[in-house]
A = this chain, B = another copy of it.
Amino acid sequence: MIITMKKNTSAQDIAKVMDQLKAQGLQIHESIGENYNVFGVVGDTSRIDPKRIEANPHVDSVVRVSSPYKKASRLFHPDDTIVEVNGIRIGDKEKLVVIGGPCSVEGEDMVVQLAKDVKAAGAVMLRGGAYKPRTSPYAFQGMGSAGIQAMVAARKQTGLPIVSELMSIDKLDEFVDNVDIIQIGARNMQNFDLLKAVGRTDKPILLKRGLANTIEEWIMSAEYIMSEGNEKVILCERGIRTFEPATRNTLDLSVIPIIKKKTHLPIIIDPSHATGDWELVEAASLAAIAAGADGLMIEVHNQPECAWSDGAQSLRPDRFAEVIRKGRAIAKVIGRDL
């Protein structure tokens, strides 16, 4: 951590700041310039709050040089984490995973049929929303428990493990008992109580990036889960909010090599929410694989124009199969499979 203090700060005012840090076991190295005084703080600074130091009127800036996360950091955990779900390995260098399914579960027959279709197309897991975060209180809010049970029925018929989004702590037991991967949605990426709660389970957690959260904040949310004891975290990029109106979000694929460098966690891409437009999903999917993603999560629907939510971004099963076919060929080029 580097602290810059203003020119002409008295030795006494400098000492006040530095003594506090030394009392926490940190070492201070100083560099005095003509216009600034710079101090290097060496030691474990992850528990130091930079804003607290910045509150001192003599302090000009505080910059971290070491990352504020530990458990998620590649530095302290050089090997890749692989999250296993019923024998499927997410984060494996050899093989990518594809998760497919509807935005919302709309009934048991519908989701069972879709599960068969996505499995036939090459997906190894089924997604489906039972509790839906909708901007409008008047929009369809999901089937709730009946939706979870429909997913369970689809798993029984196809063997596909199931992923669904948990929105509230009071449904945690239902999810632990029934789903294979608990998804934390973009809007809840900084719902810290929810993060802590899932961190106390041993279920794999799919943590979506918030729509305007930095990569560092996202890793810190993974750290919340991991700091409670659950290290089975899968990161999922789903596009960020920018000024561009032509897409629902802007897919940020640079996160893949950055996440791989900074953390040891698997990362998958959701091209459906990232683009908001089924015509863009294939290009985004192939690009994600080429950039090194560990997997894809894609919305699939048999009648997108009748979907109860997000129809505009859903693929029909035949197009989904086509994406997997092309994606597999690209995976092979970079030494993986799918």
Contact = CB atoms under 8 A, between A and B. Distances in A.
Contacts of A75: 35
Interface stretch (A92-100, A135-143, A173-181): A135-143
B311 A215 contact: no
Contacts of A274: 254
Interface residues of A, number: 113
A202 interface: no
Nearest to A226: B137
A252 B254 contact: no
A46 to B, nearest CB: 6
Contact of A253 (B31, B51, B253, B255): B253
A314 interface: yes
A288 B194 CA distance: 34
A89 interface: no
B193 A168 contact: yes
Interface stretch (A80-88, A111-119, A154-162, A302-310): A302-310
A68 interface: yes
Contacts of A220: 135-137
Interface string A41-66: 01100110101111111001101011
A211 interface: yes
Name the residue in A65, A141, A212, A223 with the highest tally of chain B Cβ atoms < 10 Å from its Cβ. Answer: A65
Given A29-B31, A31-B42, A36-B66, A254 B275 contact: yes
B223 A192 contact: no
A274 B305 CA distance: 35
A266 to B, nearest CB: 16
A226 B261 CA distance: 42
A256 B330 CA distance: 18
Contacts of A169: 168-170
Contact of A287 (B275, B288, B313): B288
A40 B40 contact: yes
5 contacts: A2-B65, A52-B305, A191-B191, A261-B279, A283-B292
